[in-house]
Amino acid sequence: MSTSTSAVTEEQKPEVEQIEIWKCKETDCKAWVRKEFVTEALPSCPLCKNPMVRSYKHVPVAAKKGNKKFLVGKKRF
Ligand SMILES: [Zn+2]
- Give me the tens of pLDDT residue by residue for the chain, a chain 77 residues long: 656 665 566 677 789 999 999 999 999 999 999 999 999 999 999 999 999 999 999 999 877 666 555 556 666 56
Distance (Å) from CA 31 to ligand 1 centroid: 5
Q: What is the pTM of this model?
A: 0.61
- 38 belongs to a structural domain: yes
* Sheet order of strands, 16-24 included: 32-34, 16-24, 52-60
Report how far Cα 62 is from the mean position of its chain's Cα atoms.
9
Q: How many angstroms is it from 61 CA to the middle of ligand 1?
A: 26
Structural domain harbouring 32 = 16-60
Using the mean position of ligand 1's atoms as its centre, give its distance from the Cα of residue 47 in Å: 5
Residue 43 covered by a domain: yes
Task: Answer whether 24's CB lies under 8 Å from 50's CB.
Answer: yes
Residue 65 within any structural domain of the chain? no
* Residue 6 pLDDT: 59
How many domains does the chain contain in total? 1
Q: Please indicate, yes or no, if residue 27 is contained in any of the structural domains.
A: yes
Centroid of ligand 1 to alpha carbon of 42 (angstroms): 14
End-to-end CA distance of the chain: 22
Say if 54 falls within a structural domain: yes
pLDDT at residue 13, rounded to an integer: 77
Distance CA 33, CA 23 (A): 6
What's the gap in Å between 44 CA and the centre of ligand 1? 8
Examine residue 1 and state whether it is found in any structural domain, yes or no.
Answer: no
Give domain status of residue 30, yes or no. yes
